[in-house]
Amino acid sequence: MQLEVTKTLAADLLRPNTGKTILAKQQDVDTRRLKITVTQDGVPFVVPTGTLAQINIRRADGKRATFSAQITTEGCVSAVLPLWALKDPGILICDLSLVAEGNARLSTSHFFIEVQEAVASDEIVDGADETDLFTELLQEVAETKRKVDLLGQQVGSVVDSPFSETRSYYGAPLHFDAQRHSCRIIAVSTLQFASAPLAVAVYDGLAYASYANQIIVYDLSEGSETSRLSLSGGSCLQIAGGKLYVSGSGTVREYTLSGSLTESFRLSGMSFAAVSSDSQMIYSIGSGKFSAWGMTGTPSGSETVCSPTYQASSAIAAKTMTADNRNVYVLSEEGTILALDFSGQQVALFSDFPEAFADGVCGISVGYSDRQQGDVLYVFLNDGACYEIGLDTRYTVAQGPKGERGERGFPGDKGDKGDQGIQGLKGDKGDKGDKGDPGDKGDKGERGFPGDKGDRGEDANFIMYYDESTHSLWITGRET
């Protein structure tokens, strides 16, 4: 019997998938199979003969890859989740692509897989020399992983996109628990705000300030006003994919950069929202939930009514929010800035701002900086001051010395052996004598006391982060 479990599901070509999130476990190898029925508007779709199938996966760290799948005799698509997808815990965003001759391609809507964190640990058990089962299997898993990765290179292709970029945020690597740390101010400029805006977005050297009945555009380098757009503003403002997104009161409106309305999305329970940099997903906070929404749904008049594809509990009191290709950034009512991943998990906390921030932060935006030749987090104050906060600090310091391991305690003394019991008497020769009674078993000696546990070595003042995609080791220093 093969060690394998199979999850059956449907993936539609025309409708958003409304099924529950699928469960998987971190570091499982060659054991979780998906059997997927492709449907067209709810009706099974007949896959033409000669069609190839692929499963496309985006991990929680933003990296994406494509793997081959098989089409069964029943017309379903069958694929085993690769170790690449189950490397770290988080939400996987997946879809299927059917590819025919001539490069014709047809893809399904998204379905979601939650990779739960593995409970197995590679730490040494206190008081023992042996490592646990997880560590003993690492060599076997490493060889299996090498074969799986090689297979992925042969039948799939890793997408060259912004999601393949490795990034370590200042003071808190993405996969570590959120840490409180000071922001690193790169530069300061001043915009000539007419009054404090509701929100601000940065795009192509311009700052778009949101007001109740208009959007005022400013030149970032000179700080002066360049134009005005006659449209209703909102509590959140963002530019993604060359489109302007304004959100508030449960609605996200999409405009051209010249101010023409192109689409409107209704999100039930949404208070604040941000759009992914590829304009495919909306992330929102409201009604005690962090929600992810696909930008498709049911048309209702001039609006598209969306349904959440993923929700997680959230008690964040937000003031405004924005997003890039890795994280969602939330300006809280307390004046701090939180960085969340796309599953709603907090990965960083920006605080300890300069005194000038006490005058009030009115907007945040991720955008390109000519000064840094890369993306920064722009923070705008009510008085027009603009701060650039670095997001890409890369540490190149050498590894700190490893703390010394404490000495092993001495074993306790072995207890004395109990006295041997007296053997029973042998019967007289002739008539067979009765068997003598066995002697009493000697008492077991007392167990010696265990030796004292050695003192634990001091922690080194750094965090290491290994990026498998580039085979490089990153060292991230802690703030002091």
pLDDT digits (tens, 9 = 90+) for 299-332: 887 888 888 888 888 777 788 889 888 888 888 8
What integer pLDDT is reported at residue 171 of this predicted model?
A: 30
What integer pLDDT is reported at residue 346 of this predicted model?
A: 80
99-108, 287-296, 439-448: which range is least confident on average? 439-448
CB 266 within 8 A of CB 300: yes
Q: Please give the CATH architecture assigned to the domain spanning 5-164.
A: Sandwich (2.60)
Q: Are strands 5-12 and 32-40 parallel, antiparallel or unpaired?
A: parallel
Q: Which of 77, 111, 61, 59 is nearest to 6 (CA)?
A: 77
Task: Give strand pairing partners of 188.
Answer: 387
Q: Which residue has the higher pLDDT, 37 or 378?
A: 37
Stretch 427-437: mean pLDDT, rounded?
Answer: 65
Q: Which pair of structure tokens corresponds to residue 99?
A: 């590819």
Task: Give strand pairing partners of 462.
Answer: 477
- Predicted confidence (pLDDT) at residue 150 exceeds the cutoff of 60: no
455 DSSP assignment? P
Q: Give every CB contact of residue 103 below 8 A, 6+ residues apart in sequence.
A: none
What value does the CA radius of gyration of the chain take, rounded to a whole number of Å?
31
What integer pLDDT is reported at residue 126 of this predicted model?
A: 46
**Count of CB atoms within 10 A of residue 44's CB?**
13
What integer pLDDT is reported at residue 22 of this predicted model?
A: 92
Q: What is the pLDDT of residues 13-66, one digit of tens each?
A: 998 887 778 999 999 998 999 999 999 998 999 988 888 999 999 999 989 998
CA dist 189 and 206 (Å) reads 13
Q: Which of 166, 60, 151 is nearest to 113 (CA)?
A: 60
Stretch 169-194: mean pLDDT, rounded?
Answer: 50
Q: Give every CB contact of residue 341 below 8 A, 6+ residues apart in sequence.
A: 60, 90, 174, 326, 327, 328, 347
Q: How many CA atoms lie within 13 A of 233 on its CB side?
A: 23
CB 293 within 8 A of CB 305: no
What integer pLDDT is reported at residue 125 of this predicted model?
A: 45
Q: Are strands 180-182 and 346-351 parallel, antiparallel or unpaired?
A: parallel
What integer pLDDT is reported at residue 317 of this predicted model?
A: 78
What integer pLDDT is reported at residue 445 of this predicted model?
A: 66
What integer pLDDT is reported at residue 153 of this predicted model?
A: 45
Q: If pLDDT is split at 50, 70 and 90, which confidence band does 278 have? A: confident
Q: Which pair of structure tokens corresponds to residue 174?
A: 């993405």
- Predicted confidence (pLDDT) at residue 220 exceeds the cutoff of 60: yes
What integer pLDDT is reported at residue 86 of this predicted model?
A: 93
Q: Which of 238, 218, 235 is nearest to 227 (CA)?
A: 218
Q: Which residue has the higher pLDDT, 177 or 144?
A: 144
Stretch 67-90: mean pLDDT, rounded?
Answer: 92
Report the mean per-residue pLDDT for the chain: 75
Q: If pLDDT is split at 50, 70 and 90, which confidence band does 474 have? A: low
What integer pLDDT is reported at residue 98 of this predicted model?
A: 93
CB 388 within 8 A of CB 369: yes
| Residue with tokens 């969340």, as numbered in its chain | 340
CATH superfamily of 180-390: YVTN repeat-like/Quinoprotein amine dehydrogenase (2.130.10.10)
Q: Which pair of structure tokens corresponds to residue 61?
A: 């760290």
**Count of CB atoms within 10 A of residue 284's CB?**
30
Q: If pLDDT is split at 50, 70 and 90, which confidence band does 343 have? A: confident
CB 309 within 8 A of CB 294: yes
What integer pLDDT is reported at residue 310 of this predicted model?
A: 83
What integer pLDDT is reported at residue 299 of this predicted model?
A: 82
What integer pLDDT is reported at residue 451 of this predicted model?
A: 66
CB 248 within 8 A of CB 239: no
What integer pLDDT is reported at residue 151 of this predicted model?
A: 46
CB 55 within 8 A of CB 116: no
> Is there a shared CATH topology between the 5-164 domain and the 180-390 domain?
no
What integer pLDDT is reported at residue 55 of this predicted model?
A: 94
CB 163 within 8 A of CB 64: yes
Q: Which of 181, 209, 179, 207 is nearest to 196 (CA)?
A: 209
- Predicted confidence (pLDDT) at residue 155 exceeds the cutoff of 60: no
CB 386 within 8 A of CB 190: yes
Structural domain spans, the chain: 5-164, 180-390
% of the chain residues with pLDDT over 70: 66
Please, is 97 exposed, middle or buried when counting C-beta atoms within 10 Å of its C-beta (0-12, 13-18, 19+)? middle
Q: If pLDDT is split at 50, 70 and 90, which confidence band does 400 have? A: very low
132-146, 225-239, 435-449: which range is least confident on average? 132-146
Q: If pLDDT is split at 50, 70 and 90, which confidence band does 351 have? A: low
Q: Which of 171, 173, 157, 180 is nearest to 57 (CA)?
A: 157
Stretch 89-117: mean pLDDT, rounded?
Answer: 91
- Please tell me whether the overall predicted TM-score, pTM, comes out greater than 0.75 for this model: no
What integer pLDDT is reported at residue 195 of this predicted model?
A: 84
Q: Which residue has the higher pLDDT, 62 or 157?
A: 62
Stretch 77-86: mean pLDDT, rounded?
Answer: 93
Q: If pLDDT is split at 50, 70 and 90, which confidence band does 80 have? A: very high
CB 87 within 8 A of CB 103: no
Q: If pLDDT is split at 50, 70 and 90, which confidence band does 366 have? A: confident
What integer pLDDT is reported at residue 470 of this predicted model?
A: 56
- Predicted confidence (pLDDT) at residue 112 exceeds the cutoff of 80: yes
Q: If pLDDT is split at 50, 70 and 90, which confidence band does 345 have? A: confident
Backbone angles phi, psi at 149, to 5 degrees: -65, -40
Q: How many CA atoms lie within 13 A of 228 on its CB side?
A: 8
CB 283 within 8 A of CB 292: yes
What integer pLDDT is reported at residue 129 of this predicted model?
A: 47
